[in-house]
Amino acid sequence: MDLAPNTYAANCKVLIENGDADDHVGLAELTEWKAEMDAQGIDWRFNNHARTPHGFALAPRVWSNTCAHSWCLYVEEADRRSTRSMLSLFAEVWPQYPQYPTKQNACGTVLGQSITPTAKL
């Protein structure tokens, strides 16, 4: 199968929230991705959450109460941190739009703080 060529928007910002125990993302894939982003001048951030599997932000019991797969293990700390990270990026990219405090994310995870954009210097 022929793949379409990639198109890059070098002025974008990319945020990846990854579980370090994600068996879908190995060191080789990460290294290749970083090289691809750097070659195109993409401003990227990769947060790797310790002892955290793929699908870590899926709410408890999304799949079932007894799911034994590594991809259905919710990790509250990583979910909270990744949400805060996303809100921080939104404040950076769109400082002209206020963020309204929220106590929890869509999963129901209590965030414990809100991100407030600062004025551009």
**Residue 89 lies inside a defined structural domain of this protein:** no
Mean pLDDT by 10 residues, the chain (121 residues): 88 95 91 96 96 84 59 83 95 93 88 65 51
| Burial class for 66, CB neighbours closer than 10 Å (0-12, 13-18, 19+) | exposed
pTM listed for this prediction: 0.80
Q: What is the 3-state secondary structure (H, E, C) of 67-93?
A: CCCHHHCCCHHHHHHHHHHHHHHHHHH
**Residue 114 lies inside a defined structural domain of this protein:** no
**Residue 2 lies inside a defined structural domain of this protein:** no
Domain count along the chain? 1
**Residue 87 lies inside a defined structural domain of this protein:** no
What local confidence, expressed as pLDDT, does residue 102 receive? 86
Residues with Cβ within 8 Å of 121's Cβ and at least 6 positions away in sequence, in order, are: none
What local confidence, expressed as pLDDT, does residue 114 receive? 56
**Residue 115 lies inside a defined structural domain of this protein:** no
Domain that holds residue 43: 13-76
